[in-house]
Copies of this chain bind each other. A is one copy, B any other.
Amino acid sequence: MARAATTSDAFNAVAEPRRRDILSYLATEERSVTEIVDLMEIEQPSVSKHLKVLKGVGLVEARREGRQMLYKTNPIAIRPLHEWTRTFERLWRHQLLRIKEQAEANNAQK
């Protein structure tokens, strides 16, 4: 079997760095494809393809306005990723605490 499709879920879709960039660009405001192309340094067809993937998993929404397509991030679709990472939060906090305690112990010793 090959790797899961980029469109299989949000995890796969955001694995591509360009797509994360796009999500950030579109987080607070709608933008046309051309605007995204100008912001990033990749060709228009690539941007359209990335947008298609993001739309396929619900990470962006699109709306036509005249000749333009206006895209914006659908932040709620990022929530499942956040929730998954959050299940580890308690653990890394604990880890950081131990690192800090260790450092203080070393300090006290000298």
Determine if A17 and B3 form an interchain contact, defined as CB atoms under 8 angstroms apart: no
Report Cα–Cα, A78/B81, bound state, in Å: 11
Partner of A92, one of B3, B17, B20, B79: B79
A109 touches B (CB below 8 Å): no
Task: With both chains docked as a complex, state the minimum distance between the C-beta of A99 and any C-beta of chain B, in angstroms.
Answer: 9
A78-B85 contact in complex given A11-B20, A17-B4, C-beta closer than 8 Å = yes
The proximity string for A residues 50-80 relative to B, scoring 1 for CB distances below 8 Å and 0 otherwise, is 0000000000000000000000010110110
A37 touches B (CB below 8 Å): no
| Complex interface residues of chain A between 78 and 93 (CB less than 8 A to chain B) | 78-79, 81-82, 84-89, 91-92
Supply 5 further A-B pairs (C-beta < 8 A) apart from A27-B88, A73-B91, A78-B88: A3-B6, A3-B15, A4-B17, A27-B91, A76-B95
